[in-house]
Amino acid sequence: MSSETSKPARQVSPGAKLTLLLGALTAFGPMSIDMYLPSLPSIQAELGTDAAGAELTLSAFLLGMALGQVFYGPLSDRVGRRPPLLIGVIVFVSVSIGCAFAQSIESLILLRFLQALGACVGQVLARTVVTDIYDRREAARMFSLLMLVMGLAPILAPMFGGWILSVASWRGIFVVLASFGVVIGTIVMLRLPESRPQHVADHAKTESPFRAILSVATNRQIVGYAVAGGMNTASMFTYIAASPDLLIKTYGIPPQYYGMIFGMNAFGLIAASQVNRALLKRHTSHHMLQVGIRGGLAIALGLLVLALTGFGGLLGILVPLFLLITCMGFALPNGMASAMTIDLKRGGTTSAFVGSVQFVLGAIASAVVGTLHDGTAIPMAAVIAGALVLGNLTLTFVVGRPPAILAE
């Protein structure tokens, strides 16, 4: 890698306070998705729509997460990390309140899209701050550590959402999300320092945002890692979109117990991410990405067979899902770290591009599984298996051998 895109590490071990704050920022998206999952049947009933219509509120959110990052990433390279971050939090809080007052499924779909335009700022800039501060190997370990903090969202959010539904309607969930945004936004304003390196600021003055995005989007290895990691994100959101209706309606699981099942799967994700963090002391992020995505494919094919045959009933679905989500604890942080450490002079733009690719793929997958919805686990299993087949092919034939920075 050229000297232009490398820099000495300014910090080699994560600080607890910074980790917690970055994790909270990264959790804007997962909190906005996971907390309201148990309420999808209630939204469906109150707003007079079907399962596919309710799931479009998720697809719209994922699309907003994808598009918004393209704006915030290049902007943060030009003006710094703090101003776009504060703008995004204000948007998130304002629109979350609007979601609480939605009167139709169409208005809620639109508001969820706008809510995501604010929520995405936390993810794109948390990743960017990591690569601003940490060296290349520690960045991969930091992404794994962030998954520990962020992973609390899928464990606690559905259970908390189920609890809110027991005392209030689904609208109360969006009031809680707005309150969460106010708290984190205040902490960011008071405690998060500007992290943009001088070489990023200097380089951003020499090219337009469009040229920066074009440069990143034509880098074969960045694109390869973005798509390979994005297929894991697509699998995750396929599971997120399909599992509420599948488990609550088809298998008759109460919403509060659905939250517990969702939390158990998130625990597998967290545990694997921390094993991954330890293994990164001896292995590259590229190697660990291979482990996660190939293991996930093997399990996904098994899930598809069980869904087609009905063998094992509910356990035949839950057990492979747990193992599949666990494999993502290896694939997700390493896919992101591998892409983010290739072109460090365009850190915000790279983060935006990779995040956008992942959420576009997630939005497509969740829309497809909603369209194919038939009340069984077959559409979910088929979409997940197809996504991971494509992810493995991309890692093998597009990325190929890891770039020198990742092979060191």
Q: What is the CATH number of domain 15-407?
A: 1.20.1250.20
Residue 2: pLDDT above 70? no
Please give the structure tokens belonging to residue 272. 């694997």
- Mind listing the pLDDT tens digit for each residue in 267-285? 898 899 889 888 988 888 8
What is d(CA 13, CA 204) in angstroms, rounded to the nearest whole number? Answer: 28
Q: Which residue in this structure is represented by tokens 């956008």?
A: 356
More confident residue, 301 or 24: 301
Mean pLDDT taken over the chain: 86
Cα separation of 232 and 340, whole Å? Answer: 17
Q: Note the pLDDT tens digit of each residue in 75-131.
A: 999 899 999 999 999 999 999 999 999 999 999 999 999 999 999 999 889 988 988
Domain boundaries, the chain: 15-407
Question: 375 near 251, Cβ under 8 Å?
Answer: no
Position 137 scores a pLDDT of: 67
The CA distance from 236 to 365, in Å, is 9
Phi, psi of 134 (to 5 degrees): -100, 155
Interval 219-229: pLDDT, tens: 999 999 999 99
Which amino acid belongs to residue 242? Answer: A
Closest-CA residue to 352 (of 71, 113, 27, 133): 71
Distance, in Å, from the CA atom of 198 to the CA atom of 360, rounded to the nearest integer, reads 31
Report whether pLDDT(385) > 80.
Answer: yes
Task: Specify the pLDDT at position 101.
Answer: 94
Burial of 159 (0-12, 13-18, 19+ CB in 10 A): buried
Q: What is the rounded average pLDDT of the residues 376-388?
A: 96
Q: Are 140 and 333 in contact (CB under 8 A)?
A: yes
